[in-house]
Amino acid sequence: MTVLVKVMLKPGVLDPQGKAIADALHRLGYGAVSDVRAGKVFRIEVDADDPKAAREVCSQMAEKLLANPVIEDYELVLEAAGAEAGREAGALR
């Protein structure tokens, strides 16, 4: 089972990387961009048949290693079976 762990800075925490990206996008002519928040996504393959068990083990991973709970929040997303098939690099889904 595939679980995505999305890690983002908490609201109110300064994001210098996001600010730098927003500034660069403005210089490239994307003036409609009002804010950018940078984060991380981890795609984890878990040997579990039960979605609840997969979610629990990935939540533990996020709390212990993948996210800093002082400044970051995380979200877990279970991917449907076969979701990787047909995915193209750079494609928005």
Q: In CATH, what number is assigned to the domain containing residue 24?
A: 3.30.1280.10
In a domain, 84, yes or no: no
In a domain, 47, yes or no: yes
State how many domains the chain has: 1
pLDDT on residue 81: 66
In a domain, 54, yes or no: yes
| DSSP codes, 7-71 | EEEPTTS--HHHHHHHHHHHHTT-TT------EEEEEEE---S-HHHHHHHHHHHIIIII--TTT
In a domain, 93, yes or no: no
| Run means of pLDDT, 10 residues per run, the chain, 93 residues | 97 97 98 97 95 96 97 94 50 42
Task: Compute the distance between CA of residue 18 and CA of residue 55 in angstroms, rounded to an integer.
Answer: 28
In a domain, 44, yes or no: yes
pLDDT on residue 80: 73
pLDDT on residue 90: 45
Domain extent at residue 29 = 2-78
pLDDT on residue 83: 58
In a domain, 88, yes or no: no
Q: pTM value?
A: 0.81
